[in-house]
Amino acid sequence: MTTRGLSIRLIRHATLLLEVGGTTVLVDPMLSDAGANPPIPNSPNDRRNPLVDLPDADLDLSADALLVTHLHRDHLDDAAKDRLAGDVHVLCQPEDVDELTEAGFTDIHTVDDARVLGDLEVIRTPARHGHGDLAERMGPVSGFVLRAEGGPSVYLAGDTVWYEGVRETLERYDPDVVVVNAGAAQFVEGDPITMTAEDVIAVCEHADAPVVAVHMEAINHCPLSRADLRAAVDEAGVGEQVSVPADGERPDV
């Protein structure tokens, strides 16, 4: 079933182009060529990032606003700053204003709790980028709910693991579509810092909505592949609820 008034295109990793009720939003742009950046340190392999190129050489990334969930390099890289900095309308968590200003963005709007963008309400939601002390060291991160007046809503969970904050967000906002950052990103030591297959399955069990899983096969510390995630959700009996799009693809949500 297709949700009227909602279109999602995965560009690569966590970079999305959304259209929600007629408003377009570019999310977490990582626009570097393959191999342009060093590996994430202290990771199980040392491949340079990104692992793959963008899907289209002449990709149209024009949007009404840029939404940055947090400032790790795989969510806003130097190539994106060079290409997008200026007077683009930026939405971000409050902690990231100074760095975005230094990068050359001039039209920055913080989402403390919620903010209106045209007919779109943008709501900041909690996220936990890992477990225990590691989550604290990973710095502030946020998820966001985008909902159109009288139209659809989408929950971008952001860089988070499954925990009570995600469950409470699902219960409170009952989104029409959920986008999760999977990949089971991790370092040599410690637990994963983004969603594992088990986390994605937990989201499915608590969400009465399609789940779109992204954030895979583009960064060296994300070992969970699309094929492995697909096999896991199928085995758990929630495969029909989950879309695992390829780069450049628009999942049927």
CATH number assigned to the domain comprising residue 74: 3.60.15.10
Tell me, what's the pLDDT at 108?
Answer: 98
Residue 155 falls inside a structural domain: yes
Only one residue has tokens 């477990």, namely 131
> What distance in Å separates the CA atoms of residue 109 and residue 93, rounded to the nearest whole number?
9
Angle at Cα 219 formed by Cα 203 and Cα 224, nearest 5°? 45
Tell me, what's the pLDDT at 58?
Answer: 72
Residue 148 falls inside a structural domain: yes
pLDDT at 1 over 60: no
What is the SS3 assignment for 35? coil
pLDDT, one tens digit per residue, over 206-228 is: 999 999 999 999 999 999 999 99
Residue 251 falls inside a structural domain: no
> What distance in Å separates the CA atoms of residue 83 and residue 203, rounded to the nearest whole number?
34
Across the range 159-163, mean pLDDT stands at 98
Residue 250 falls inside a structural domain: no
Residue 249 falls inside a structural domain: no
Residue 253 falls inside a structural domain: no
Across the range 170-192, mean pLDDT stands at 97
> What is the chain's mean pLDDT, rounded?
96
pLDDT, one tens digit per residue, over 102-155 is: 999 999 999 999 999 999 999 999 999 999 988 889 989 999 999 998 899 999
pTM higher than 0.85: yes
Residue 192 falls inside a structural domain: yes
Give how many domains the chain has, as a whole number.
1
What is the SS3 assignment for 10? strand
pLDDT, one tens digit per residue, over 51-66 is: 999 998 678 899 999 9
Tell me, what's the pLDDT at 44?
Answer: 85
> What distance in Å separates the CA atoms of residue 107 and residue 154, rounded to the nearest whole number?
24
User: Which is higher by pLDDT, 1 or 21?
Assistant: 21
Residue 144 falls inside a structural domain: yes
- Assess contact for 248 and 11: CB atoms under 8 A: yes
- Assess contact for 91 and 109: CB atoms under 8 A: yes
- Domain hosting 73: range is 6-242
